[in-house]
Structure 1
Amino acid sequence: MSQSPPPSSPKKDIVTRDIAGRLLFLGTGTSMGVPVVGCGCDVCQSTNPKNKRLRCSVIFGLPGGNLLIDTPPDLRTQLLNNGIGIIHAVAFTHSHADHLFGLDDVRLFQFYLGHAVPIYCEPNVDAKIRKVYDYAFSNEVQTHIGSRPALDMREIGTTPFEALGSEIIPIRLQHGPKFEVLGFRVGNVAYCTDTNKIPDESWEKLQGLDVLVLDALRPDPHPTHFSVEEAVEAAQKIGAKQTYFTHISCRLEHERTNHWLPEGMELAYDGLEIPLT
């Protein structure tokens, strides 16, 4: 249901980079980002830009526009860093703060689009959005148009759905033993962050991939994320032509880790673009 409809005429002078047919990594870091505040490790102190990691998010450049996956707290900076001037829709993997708490930054796009921003998410994420961003759904009179986001909430589950001219295939993932999240597949590219277990019913959805993007937090095991070795094992089982790892902590230096990884696997980095196939 749309809230607070904006003016009917979309803005004409939008300046944005064209990423049609591409997957763009806006952020590849863990929930604290890299560098971590106050951390003196060699990765946090590194001058290599590939060791600078904002919170996790990507954009699928689809025929009908830019589909943003998650709205991390760094969203405004990520969009400016990558020259992205418009988001046409958002899909959420889950409701954790590092994937949700930049949602108000999409408030601008209701004016560019001329309508509420479509939001694709599971019911539990919808409930969290309505709680955290309760002002977006308030019946109180606005002080001015644009004082709150206009969101068109659209429920999804694990059934494929259409968005911006493409079929989006949700993939059920486990983020620890008691928390479920979604990955998303578009064509032969799958994005699977924040997971340490792929349920039996999801492996089939990950077959025949050209590119797999998979969680790999750190060298040692974690209760809710794949370690690097666990991620490599899962990626080898999936057998994508190319695998990129994301949600990376400061425990993984970019060049050293890539040197260790098997052929066809490497760490993603902020600003990386790959073709959608």
Structure 2
Amino acid sequence: MAAAAMRVVVLGCGGSAGVPLIGGSDGCGDWGACDPAEPRNRRLRASIAVCAGGQTLLVDTGPDLRSQLLGNGIARVDAILYTHAHADHITGLDDVRILNRIANRPLPAYGMDVTLSEIRRRFEYAFLPHDARQFFYRPVLLPQIVAPGDDVAMAGITARVFLQDHGFVTSLGFRCGGFAYSTDVVMLDAAALAVLEGVDTWLVGCFQRAPHKTHAHLERVLDWTATLGVRRTVLTHMGTDMDWGWLKHHLPSHVEPAYDGLILEIPG
């Protein structure tokens, strides 16, 4: 696996409904256990951008995509990797048409066959051939099917992708050099653990403190971290149970909660 220097931007680190949830006694949000006075508790849906070699790989196109790119000063994307086809990871796809215009070309979209097939079913128009004589009035994706275990060259990096158990479906994680990303995972098999072993910086989904059917909980992530020998574990895809201040106070020094806009500098 190539180990280029990378800059990883956490575009969003919230669960499928974000933090706060819609509702609350005053209609301004249900924060659960999260302190609304702590700005790092306000979380958009989980997504990252990986910047390397002058290119940017966008991981998932959730419903907050436009505000995420604007808020983090990301004006251009060269390729997209889809972890899975749940709504909180794909329903910002229409905003990709602006990214097509900026790049002036269709964008490659990487993912497992089952993932891209489901996205195509819901957004068929995004996979139609592009007429170069026409303006990008719709998103245009070029599907690139990958399989767990593949080493995939995408937008300036080469990453090994691996399968993750997401409860009722599967998702895709990846590792590039010293960095790995594992959102939406409840269990990891031996093949996935082998890819992750000894990783330096791991951005991993951790939805809540108690066990959950489709997402890893805090104790499980801490066990994984110890088993794998991770130097720095950063928690993402967090729900309203995961107060940033509480986590900073209770987690070991090598484990920390992410926040929207967090930047991880990964050496080559």
Fold match by TM threshold 0.5: yes
User: Structure 1 residue 23 and structure 2 residue 3: aligned?
Assistant: no
Cα distance, 1:92–1:63 mapped onto 2, change above 3 Å: same
Within 2, Cα distance between the matches of 1:185 and 1:41?
32
Structure-1 residue corresponding to 2:67: 77
Q: 1:149 aligns with which of 139, 142, 146?
A: 139
Matches within 5 A, 1:241-252: 241-252=231-242
Summarize deviations over 1:55-109 as a string: whole Å, max 9, x none: 0000111214110111110000111111111111100110100011111111112
Any conservation in 1 of the 2:34–2:242 contact (CA below 8 Å)?
no
Within 2, Cα distance between the matches of 1:259 and 1:71?
32
Q: 1:36 aligns with which of 5, 8, 21?
A: 21
Matches within 5 A, 1:1-277: 21-39=6-24, 40-41=30-31, 43=33, 46-138=36-128, 145-158=135-148, 159-176=150-167, 178-277=168-267
**TM-score with structure 2 setting the length:** 0.90
Cα distance, 1:138–1:67 mapped onto 2, change above 3 Å: closer
Count of aligned pairs between the two proteins: 257
- SS of aligned partner of 2:8: strand
RMSD value, Cα: 2.0
Q: 1:137: how far off?
A: 3.6
Q: 1:248: how far off?
A: 0.3
Any conservation in 1 of the 2:130–2:140 contact (CA below 8 Å)?
no
Segments of structure 1 that go 5 or more residues without pairing to the other structure are 1-19
Cα distance, 1:257–1:139 mapped onto 2, change above 3 Å: closer
Any conservation in 1 of the 2:110–2:143 contact (CA below 8 Å)?
yes
- SS of aligned partner of 1:204: helix
Taking only the aligned residue pairs, the percentage that are identical comes to: 34
Q: 1:166: how far off?
A: 1.9
Tell me the amino acid that sits aligned with residue 27 of structure 1.
G
Summarize deviations over 1:11-50 as a string: whole Å, max 9, x none: xxxxxxxxx8311000000000001111344655612110
Within 2, Cα distance between the matches of 1:253 and 1:136?
38
Segments of structure 2 that go 5 or more residues without pairing to the other structure are 25-29
Summarize deviations over 1:143-184 as a string: whole Å, max 9, x none: x622211111111112111112321110211101x4211111
Summarize deviations over 1:208-261 as a string: whole Å, max 9, x none: 211011111111111000111111111111111100011100111101112111
- SS of aligned partner of 1:263: coil
- SS of aligned partner of 2:164: strand
Any conservation in 1 of the 2:129–2:140 contact (CA below 8 Å)?
no
Structure-1 residue corresponding to 2:27: none
Tell me the amino acid that sits aligned with residue 31 of structure 1.
S
Within 1, Cα distance between the matches of 2:32 and 2:84?
31
Any conservation in 2 of the 1:160–1:168 contact (CA below 8 Å)?
yes
**TM-score with structure 1 setting the length:** 0.87
Within 1, Cα distance between the matches of 2:219 and 2:141?
40
Any conservation in 1 of the 2:206–2:217 contact (CA below 8 Å)?
yes
Any conservation in 2 of the 1:216–1:225 contact (CA below 8 Å)?
yes
